[in-house]
Amino acid sequence: MYELLIENIRSKVAISEAEEEQLKKYFIPKKYRKRQYLLNGGDICKYFSFVVDGLIRSFTVDDKGHEHVVQFAAEGWWVSDMGSFLEETEAMYHIEAIEDVEVLNLTKPAMEEMLNELPVMERYFRILMQKNIVTLQQRVVADHSLTAEEKYLRLMEIYPKLIHRAPQQQVASYLGITPETLSRIRKQVAEKGD
């Protein structure tokens, strides 16, 4: 249950076994079924969730009713509406399980307690956030510089598994293109590819 989390933490900071043990008490393990919502847009986001198993997406719905996938979170990733979680404001995003998932939920009070009692976690989260920023900046640049096909190929390189786990239309949404365009691109790539 906690192995993946511990492994993830150890990949960024050094923690003792005592700390490992202590860590566990702040988290609430929880399961959600495919299609279940972890968060409804407009609610306050109560959890910062570490994905132990399964696949999750966060997305927003614009004025025209179109969905926009903000993030996919598979095993080893964190997901939340961070703005809502931190400021306790209304969530801009919905969070939904794409597959049956197992997560470790951190409430805001639990997180604060953890950060106070285990200062090393402050560092862990800082590093986590920094890497996230690097990734997000690269995504912005990709969105601005690549064609639809190039964006798709890039995604295939970076998260090859995702393409098969998430519905096409959600992948398209993540890339900022329509499902129709993605379908056509896939056809072309398949033909070229061999």
Partner DNA sequence: CGCGGGTTTGATGATGCTCAAGCCCGGTGG
Partner DNA sequence: CCACCGGGCTTGAGCATCATCAAACCCGCG
Q: Helix, strand, or coil here: 99?
A: coil
Phi and psi dihedrals of 80, rounded to 5? -175, 165
Minimum distance between the CB of residue 160 and a copy of itself, rounded to whole angstroms? 21
Helix (H) or strand (E) holding 94: strand 94-97
Q: Which is nearer to DNA, 5 or 98 (CB)?
A: 98
Residue 154 touching DNA (CB under 7 A): no
The residue from 184, 189, 192, 194 that contacts DNA (CB under 7 A) is: 184
State the Cα–Cα distance between residues 128 and 119, nearest whole angstrom: 15
Q: Which is nearer to a copy of itself, 70 or 74 (CB)?
A: 70
Minimum distance between the CB of residue 89 and a copy of itself, rounded to whole angstroms? 11
Residue 145 contact partner, candidates DNA, a copy of itself, none, CB within 5 to 8 A by sort of partner: a copy of itself
Minimum distance between the CB of residue 54 and a copy of itself, rounded to whole angstroms? 21
In eight-state DSSP terms, residue 44 is B
Judge contact between 81 and 88, C-beta under 8 A: no
Residue 36 contact partner, candidates a copy of itself, DNA, none, CB within 5 to 8 A by sort of partner: none
The string of DSSP letters for 101-153 reads EEEEEEEHHHHHHHHHH-THHHHHHHHHHHHHHHHHHHHHHHHHH--HHHHHH
Sign of CA dihedral 172, 175, 177, 182: negative
Give the strand pairing for 56-61 and 28-32: unpaired
Q: Which residues bind a copy of itself (CB under 8 A)?
A: 60, 62, 66, 68, 70-71, 82-83, 86, 92, 115, 119, 122-123, 125-126, 129-130, 132-134, 136-141, 143-145, 173, 176
State the Cα–Cα distance between residues 150 and 123, nearest whole angstrom: 35
With CB under 7 A as the rule, give the number of residues binding DNA: 19
Residue 173 contact partner, candidates DNA, a copy of itself, none, CB within 5 to 8 A by sort of partner: a copy of itself
Residue 182 touching DNA (CB under 7 A): yes
Minimum distance between the CB of residue 142 and a copy of itself, rounded to whole angstroms? 9
Binding site for DNA (CB under 7 A): 64, 66, 147-149, 167-169, 176-184, 186-187
